[in-house]
Amino acid sequence: MDSPAMPLTRYPRLLPEKGHPPEIPFGWYFVAYSDELAPGEISVISCFSQEWILFRDAHGRAGMIDPYCPHLGAHLGFGGTVDGKLVRCPFHGWGFDAGGHCRDVPYATKMPPILKKGPILKSLALAERNNILWAWYHPGAVAPLWEVDDIPETSSDRWISYEKFEFEIDTSVQDIIENSIDYAHLKYVHGHASPLCGTTLQEGIFRRVDIGAEMPAMEKKGMSGASQYRIEMLQKGPGQHTVRYRRETELLMLFLVTPVSNEKTILRLAFTHRRYSRDSDEHQTVKDFMREKIGAHGGLHGVYADIPIWNHKIYRRQPLLCDGDGPIMQYRAWFKQFYAGGS
């Protein structure tokens, strides 16, 4: 007689520590597209390990401050209103400016003395460049150490408005950007016929990567052949990353990372290109190029192929590398400068 089957014991999956650096790197980061925050609007956002309110006052100036009123703790983002240059608390009408100062308590005959000494709510410096609102984050509240660069194409009438894509990734800013010098993964994740090689220059807060190769021509009315492919990536600090792709046409991508925490990042890709007639070959070519960078086209796979890897990988502080890998450790040494605690 057969023995009865033993019940299957199910053990919980033991997940390793992800191992990301314990802090968020300092620098300028995307917090909103300019056209998505109108005067008088308040938006609640989560980044830099907390909630904030982002608002634009009646004069068009944007501000980003702590969301909880220091009076009795009401959340300014739920029922709060913009009144001139101030955000009014929905509970008792206290008014705060973009610097975090309380400028008005409408029913008080005598303001609390502490309100005269300086800001009462934490605020972040903002810059509006390239049709984007950027926030300066530093864990020690250090003032901005550099400026956000202007990208000429983003203000040119000859280039389209951004085509926008957004992803939530369970990994750090540093880990995501490391892909840009991991040349070997371009074949195995993104479908390139052979590994692509590039050069990297790191100097101060700047980093430049150039990758070039010959690739099959993009499909166009049955034509085939080869075309030159070039990727130029320019990074300034951890949060400003501009990528120019050239292959029969030109595609500009802003690679925008916003740290929610040290282990969660919102990745936004903002594409722009020259304006073409919708029925032109150039228009179809550049749209196919964009599809290639996001999803899949012509046997190549875009960022969708990276996401499951980012979401489930751990961070190896001492990775086992070989001679075919890119300059991963040099990149990490460069990136270390953006951690206030030297992570």
The DSSP annotation for 278-331 comes to TTSHHHHHHHHHHHHHHSEETTEE-GGGTHHHHHH----SS----TTS-SHHHH
Give the Cα-Cα-Cα angle 37, 43, 45 (nearest 5 degrees).
120
Residue 339 CA to residue 74 CA, distance in Å, equals 33
Q: Is residue 147 part of a domain?
A: no
Same structural domain, 301 and 225: yes
From 102, 137, 172, the end of a domain falls on 137
pLDDT at 190: 84
CATH of the domain at 286: 3.90.380.10
Q: Is residue 273 part of a domain?
A: yes
* Cβ within 8 Å of residue 311, ≥6 positions away: 169, 170, 171
Instruction: Say which residue, 297 or 242, is predicted with more confidence.
Output: 242
pLDDT at 172: 96
Q: Is residue 16 part of a domain?
A: no
Phi, psi at residue 15, to the nearest 5°? -90, 135
Query: Does 299 score more than 60 pLDDT?
Result: yes
From 109, 137, 165, the end of a domain falls on 137
From 83, 112, 137, the end of a domain falls on 137
Q: Which of 278, 50, 237, 8 is nearest to 127 (CA)?
A: 237
**The two structure tokens encoding residue 180:** 């840009």
Same structural domain, 42 and 178: no
Percent helix, strand and coil across the chain, each to the nearest 5 = 15, 35, 50
Segment 57-77 shows an average pLDDT of 97
**The two structure tokens encoding residue 134:** 């950027």
- Scored b (16 or more CB within 10 A) or e, 118-155 reads eebbebbbbebbbbbbbbbbbeeeeebeeebeebebbe
| Domain interval for residue 31 | 27-137
Same structural domain, 276 and 159: yes
Give me the residue label for tokens 């961070």. 315
Q: Is residue 227 part of a domain?
A: yes
pLDDT at 194: 63
Could you report the per-residue pLDDT of 243-296, keeping only the tens digit for each?
999 988 999 999 999 999 999 999 999 999 999 999 999 999 899 989 989 987
Could you report the per-residue pLDDT of 150-203, keeping only the tens digit for each?
999 999 999 999 999 999 999 999 999 999 888 888 888 888 776 667 789 999
pLDDT grade, residue 17 (50/70/90)?
confident
Query: Does 129 score more than 80 pLDDT?
Result: yes
Same structural domain, 223 and 330: yes
Residue 52 CA to residue 77 CA, distance in Å, equals 8
Q: Which of 88, 90, 87, 92 is nearest to 107 (CA)?
A: 92
Mean pLDDT of the chain: 90
Q: Is residue 129 part of a domain?
A: yes
Same structural domain, 189 and 334: yes
Q: Is residue 17 part of a domain?
A: no
Same structural domain, 173 and 311: yes
Query: Does 323 score more than 90 pLDDT?
Result: no
**What pTM was computed for the model?**
0.91
Cβ contact 115:102 at 8 Å? yes
Q: H or E segment at 176?
A: helix 173-177
- 31 SS3 class: strand
CATH of the domain at 39: 2.102.10.10
Q: Is residue 284 part of a domain?
A: yes
Same structural domain, 206 and 289: yes
Same structural domain, 132 and 157: no
Q: Is residue 133 part of a domain?
A: yes
Same structural domain, 225 and 269: yes
Query: Does 1 score more than 50 pLDDT?
Result: no
Domain count, the chain: 2
Same structural domain, 319 and 194: yes
pLDDT at 226: 65
pLDDT grade, residue 216 (50/70/90)?
low
Same structural domain, 233 and 316: yes
Same structural domain, 99 and 225: no
